[in-house]
Structure 1
Amino acid sequence: MGLRLLYLIFCRLLGCFLLLGRSTAANNAEILALRHEVAVLRRQIKRPRLSWADRAVLSALARHLPPALRRRRRVTPGTLLTWHRRLVCWKWRQTAVGSGRPPLPEETVALIQRLARENPTWGYVRIQGELRRLGHRVAAATIRRVLRRSGLPPAPQRASQQTWRSFLRSQAHTLLAFDFMHVETVFLRRLYVFFVMEIKTRRVHVLGVTAHPTGAWVTQLARNLLMDLEERAGCFRFLIRDRDSKFTAVFDAVFAGNGTAVTPTPTQSPRSNAFAERWIRTARAECTDCLLITGERHLRTVLTAYAEHYNGGRAHRSLGLRAPDDDPNVIPLPAAGARRQQVLGGLLNEYHTMPPRLPHHPQERTSSAA
């Protein structure tokens, strides 16, 4: 702004020097033309906006005008007093402070949203108590306002909006997932594989293989599974299956007698049984799609060997890169060597650690020879 003022003063001084070389008649004619232009502009513009530098230049030039002309100018004594009052207000102005409490930090808001999403049954006061334990003092009304602004409903409504993914994660240790898998043989005959997966450990049991599955066959395999599980059968509280007609009422009654509730998946919703569907894709990509299956016996042998590999020799992302049968409390030591074990004729490979070889001492050899 200071440079603008200096530039305007320089331009006016240069204009004054140029006027000294002109005649009086030329100056009077230019003044009349400028007055008329100003009158035309005043009819079009009611209140022009002047900058601080424009006001300073007009104030300085207005002092040299005759009193009669000074009254007709926009820069009158009243205008100067108004400008002065504005300068005083600008000097002593203060930053406006909003009324009420200061806003919550973004970290606290994100923490409130996280607690509400991860705990659908927690109400405002429950979240308030958890925040206090973490060192944040926030009122329940503030938590309610934050959740409303984020589009999160109260606790009862959040709990009723539980998805299949959250249900499976929370109940994984008590879930069994049943499903069918079909395989085409080399003679274009379709075979059906009935299997079950323990969701928590990802352990798979291949129950049977047949070309004509029926409700009685499926029910008998369910009874065989409960006998094989023995005491562990009582740990499972929920069973997930689709709405296939082969899952009859007798099949559900077998698990109901064991205290296991049967949960059918929604119609045409394969993601509701995502763990079983994922195993089907893995088994096909790693096993059945790489072999030519000749019949039921061949497929049963192949899938039994693959299930043993899947449970005992294959790393899983969801299990921390461990196999389902690995002990999670055992930390393996660095192996001195690795031994390869081929599965299904070399289609799959398993690697096991080898104990370090003991050094041979020449003195022992000499004494033994003697």
Structure 2
Amino acid sequence: MALRLLYLIVLRVFGWIALLARSQASKDAEILVLWHQLAVLRRQVAVPRPSWADRAILSALARLLPRCRRCHLFVTPRTLLRWHADLVKRRWTYPKHGPGRPPVRPTIRALVLRLAAENPGWGYRRIAGQIAGLGRKVSPATVWAILKRAGFDPAPRCSGPTWAQFLHAQTFGILACDFFSVETVMLTRLYCFAVVEHATRRVHVRGVTANPTAGWVAQQARNLLLDLGDRNL
């Protein structure tokens, strides 16, 4: 499909280049004919269905038109944005492989529930570690799901403050960082590195790059710490 799309676009580009050799009067006459044909088609076709090649050409040429002339297109700017969103979705949609995770063996489920019943203070990670020591491989997430469905607390609290109390006490020293991405018109994915202060909910946008390497992220983190140090935090 990509080769067919490229072939159609190349043919139309060569057709436009051939127009340069024609006289201005001939071009004006053809424009009038095309305008009349477009008016006739608009009366007969309620919903046009352009191909992917047509969509690509219209999206590229629409940027060259003045705003006052874009209203004469048979598609709206919102439709052009929807075409771009559909193209991005088609690019980043991957086929599914297999029916999913295999079911947990009954023996593993029984062992998890037995360890949880005999050791009420153990959490799901401790139970997963004990099972791994017995030569059985099971992920902590699977143990958490088994305990949750059986009515056990997957992470029972022993002594000390709760997680909410710990976060409240340490909120001025906690920073949360993550990436969010956007797609450009040319389907290039850009990554934005952002940091949030838990105490003030202040957001720091540190930088945007198409290749977020470890060195780049480390430098952005150092720059942020320097900025926070200047504020005497």
TM-score normalised to the size of structure 1?
A: 0.24
- Larger of the two Rg values belongs to structure: 1
TM-score normalised to the size of structure 2?
A: 0.37
